[in-house]
A and B are shown apart, each in its own frame.
Chain A
Amino acid sequence: MIRPVLVRREVPVRGGQPLAFAVGLLVALLLGAVLLLVAGDSPMEVYRRMLSASFGDLEAFSVTLNRAIPLALAGLAVAIAATMGLWNIGAEGQILFGATTAAGIAQIGEGWSGPVLILAMIVGGSIGGALWALGPAAAKAYIGVNEIITTLMLNEIAVRLIRYLINGPWKDPEGYGFVQAPALPEQSFLPNLFQRTHIGLLIAIAVLAVIGLMVSRSSWGYELRVAGSSGATAAYAGISLKRKILTVLVLSGAVAGLAGGIELTGNATRLTETVSNGYGFAGIIVAALALMRPSGVAAVAVLFGAVQVGGQSIKAIGVSDAVSTVLQALILFGVIAAGVLIVYRIEMAEPKVRST
């Protein structure tokens, strides 16, 4: 029986990533077209609409960009940790706790001026995210507790924490008894850069650039890459693994928390338990598509944002939520699968031969 197996390529396909994007996208769109036809929708109509809703004009693009900001930061958070071979599955929780911290600051600083309050909230969000990652980081560095599990569990805890706050101490006194956090003060809203894109875009670009440069060019990032390639090699070169694990996971949390702060000041009107909007998990996909390289995260985040915005837009022309969801998954799956094939190739395992 012949069966296909994945064999790692010795040299990845040259210039592969953009190619993979194109091929994967094409295949996914074709499969999606079949799906849409079966569901009774017109593929051309749906695709045209997805495109126009996400890239159609500056306004549409600005909505896509707005969404790409937290996606890029979450993707960056995952990618930094992955550079060292660590999995930060907790970006979701770090975003939530970052947003919670920022919301707390907004309560304290209700009377502050806009720029001061916004800065405090965004920095606070970042610190909150870092704190949320500190526990798993320390547990990993000093006792070797698997960070996948701890960061994942803290996601749930962050949700429950917000739920508790909203139901209890932070319940909106002006909410007519409704279970919600108080509305954020008006001056805490991030100003817009153009159309709907707020200035969080500039922050995200700056953070991506600085951290991207740090990872790829600085001696700190070099140590990170050595440790990610082989912990034993890092020890051999005199790099303290413990300290690296600690700093990397905390930095990763800080970047995710920053996304929380920006999302709260940029898009939300009050703290909710879903202010993270699933960006923390989507960030894992973004990072994976970017092959864990900070440099690729931005482009992938825009694509992902466009898929989300476009996917939602088609519901208004009668495409069901389920079909829209599957379509979004198809597109990303297509690109991921193509990304895998840059690094691996499919070989047919030789059939069993046994003469007797």
Chain B
Amino acid sequence: MKSAEGNKGTKALWRVLALLLVFVMIAAACGDDDGDDGEADDGSTASDDMDDGDMDDMDDDGHDHDDDMDDDGHDHDDDMDDMDDGDMDDMDDMGDMDGDFSAAFLYISPVGEAGWTWAHDQGRLYAEEATGIPTVFVDSIDDTSAADTEAAIRTLVADGHDVIIGTSFGYMDTMEAMADEFPDVVFEHVSGYKANETNFGNTFGKIYQPRYLTGMIAGAATETNQIGYVAAFPIPEVARGINAFTLGAQRVNPDVEVVVQWTSTWFDPAIEGDAADALLEGGADVIAMHQDTTSAGLAAEAAGARWVSYNSDMSEFAPDAYLASAIWNWGPRYAEIISSAADGSYAPGFYWGGYADGIVDIGSIADDVDSDIVAQVQDIRQQMIDGTFAVFSGPLFAQDGTQLLAEGEVMDPGMLLGEAFFVQGVVGDIG
């Protein structure tokens, strides 16, 4: 689940170009005026050398911006090259693809080396391997721009792709409309809440399950009994994760508190880092997150605190702080969608897979985590896989102490999906 925050490459470019242009034109206009005056007054254009100075300054500015841009571009470039040298050859003969069955993925950001989009791309590569059906991806498609999303999908459909998988929430409405317009193409949207009866389905997973496990590890690790949670938006998906994490922490440490800091962004390294710093200063010694960058982890690393990552195993980014991670494993699901679409058995619906389906898991666990805790985690994990463990079961109390579930009760899916509350032990406001 992501928004466009981290993905404004082209638009940022137009913005910079436009402003640059304004300044250059203003500088040029100043020159003009002097020229005109000069003609009338017998040559007292004393400001000639001034103008030169101005222009030089402008040039310098322009240069700086250019440099910045190049740098950025370069980074992405490298990432990309690493990722898909292999696929490139398959894609060269795009035009010939019409006859063959193929799938295309829509990403919100560049693939990078970890995180949301990287996890999806791992899934894509897995599916390609598993099904033998070629796939392509289009990255950096702003999901808040219906025009961009639509143009990208149209291109992919025109290229003859038979399955379009969109991996950001904001693609939902456009995918719905496109599914209507192209009934022969299967559209699968990740993280939304819409589907149709024929060719538009929805996929998501119970990431709260591994979050519960990471909560156990974090709850055992904290010495201050205060865990900071850097969270994007107060929506059910995020709240569910916070609650599951808190319940997991409380399982091993009844005194623990989870303090939530909202960032109002999915992807903003600076804001996420600041939020983590604020939590650390407030007394937290473990940081968890529902964000798409690693900066909360870097903040924890710098402060000598611990960290639980999300989306993918990010142990290499903050090796000392890293405790564990709740990770996505999209591959099997993607392989299922693509192969069922290929053999005509695809049936859209609301897929919400959990541990039993292998779509979520816990990443590597740090070596210094107590072996007893690891054993407990493994035990619960197995129960989750077997389908015998419910994270949200009674007795369950809300933040204000009211009882939500009685002993023996298990939360029904409706309540689970619409989870707009915090459980007891969470510090922070929702909505």
Interface residues of A (CB under 8 A from B): 5-6, 8, 39-40, 42, 45, 49, 53, 59-60, 63, 66-67, 85, 87, 89, 148, 152, 163, 167, 175-180, 183, 196, 263, 267-270, 272-275, 277-278, 281-285, 288, 308-309, 311-313, 315-318, 320-326, 328-329, 332-333, 336, 344
Q: Inside 8 A of A5's CB, which chain B residues have their CB?
A: 52
Stretch binding the partner chain, chosen from B5-13, B209-217, B324-332: B5-13
Contact assessment for B14 and A317 in the assembled complex, using a CB-CB cutoff below 8 Å: no
Residue from A5, A180, A317, A336 having most chain B Cβ neighbours under 10 A: A317
Contact assessment for A322 and B14 in the assembled complex, using a CB-CB cutoff below 8 Å: no
Chain A CB within 8 A of B130 CB: no
Q: A318-B88, A323-B77 are in contact. Are A67 and B193 (CB under 8 A)?
A: no
- Please, which residue of chain A has its CB at the minimum distance from the CB of B240? A177
Question: When chains A and B are docked, how far (Å) is the Cα of A136 from the Cα of B118?
Answer: 44
Question: When chains A and B are docked, how far (Å) is the Cα of A178 from the Cα of B35?
Answer: 58
Binary per-residue interface labels of chain B (234-260) against chain A in the complex, 1 for a CB within 8 Å, 0 otherwise: 111101000000000000000000000
Contact assessment for A313 and B155 in the assembled complex, using a CB-CB cutoff below 8 Å: yes
Q: Which 4 A/B pairs are nearest by Cβ-Cβ distance?
A: A278-B11, A269-B173, A284-B18, A322-B73
Question: When chains A and B are docked, how far (Å) is the Cα of A321 from the Cα of B139?
Answer: 7
Contact assessment for B235 and A322 in the assembled complex, using a CB-CB cutoff below 8 Å: no
Contact assessment for A270 and B22 in the assembled complex, using a CB-CB cutoff below 8 Å: no
Min C-beta distance of B6 to chain A, whole Å: 12
Question: When chains A and B are docked, how far (Å) is the Cα of A336 from the Cα of B25?
Answer: 12
Task: Identify 29 residue pairs between A and B in the complex whose beta-carbon atoms are under 8 Å apart, listed by A's number.
Answer: A8-B32, A59-B158, A66-B147, A67-B151, A87-B26, A167-B264, A176-B236, A268-B146, A269-B177, A273-B144, A277-B148, A278-B8, A281-B11, A281-B15, A281-B17, A283-B18, A284-B18, A285-B21, A312-B152, A315-B138, A316-B94, A316-B156, A317-B92, A320-B80, A321-B76, A322-B9, A322-B73, A326-B73, A329-B13
Contact assessment for B142 and A89 in the assembled complex, using a CB-CB cutoff below 8 Å: no
Question: When chains A and B are docked, how far (Å) is the Cα of A311 from the Cα of B236?
Answer: 36
Chain A CB within 8 A of B63 CB: no
Min C-beta distance of B4 to chain A, whole Å: 6
- Please, which residue of chain A has its CB at the minimum distance from the CB of B142? A274
Main SS of chain B's interface residues?
Answer: helix
Q: A177-B235, A277-B147, A288-B25 are in contact. Are A321 and B92 (CB under 8 A)?
A: no
Contact assessment for A178 and B169 in the assembled complex, using a CB-CB cutoff below 8 Å: yes
Min C-beta distance of A144 to chain B, whole Å: 16
Q: Inside 8 A of A322's CB, which chain B residues have their CB?
A: 9, 72-77, 80, 110
Question: When chains A and B are docked, how far (Å) is the Cα of A66 from the Cα of B22?
Answer: 26
Min C-beta distance of A318 to chain B, whole Å: 5
Min C-beta distance of A271 to chain B, whole Å: 10
Inter-chain contact count A-B, CB under 8 Å? 182
Question: When chains A and B are docked, how far (Å) is the Cα of A316 from the Cα of B145?
Answer: 18
Q: Inside 8 A of B150's CB, which chain A residues have their CB?
A: 63, 267
Residue from B147, B148, B156 having most chain A Cβ neighbours under 10 A: B147
Q: Inside 8 A of A332's CB, which chain B residues have their CB?
A: 17
Contact assessment for B4 and A320 in the assembled complex, using a CB-CB cutoff below 8 Å: no
Contact assessment for B14 and A285 in the assembled complex, using a CB-CB cutoff below 8 Å: yes
From A269, A309, A313, A328, give the contact of B174 (CB < 8 A): A269
Min C-beta distance of B41 to chain A, whole Å: 14
Contact assessment for B17 and A45 in the assembled complex, using a CB-CB cutoff below 8 Å: no
Chain A CB within 8 A of B418 CB: yes
Contact assessment for A176 and B139 in the assembled complex, using a CB-CB cutoff below 8 Å: no
Min C-beta distance of B217 to chain A, whole Å: 28
Min C-beta distance of B144 to chain A, whole Å: 4
Chain A CB within 8 A of B356 CB: no
Q: A167-B264, A274-B144 are in contact. Are A316 and B21 (CB under 8 A)?
A: no
Contact assessment for B15 and A274 in the assembled complex, using a CB-CB cutoff below 8 Å: no
Q: Inside 8 A of A312's CB, which chain B residues have their CB?
A: 138, 141, 148, 151-152, 155
Q: Inside 8 A of A281's CB, which chain B residues have their CB?
A: 11, 14-15, 17-19
- Please, which residue of chain A has its CB at the minimum distance from the CB of B83? A320
Of residues 285 to 328 in B, which have CB atoms within 8 Å of A's CB atoms?
A: none
Min C-beta distance of B197 to chain A, whole Å: 18
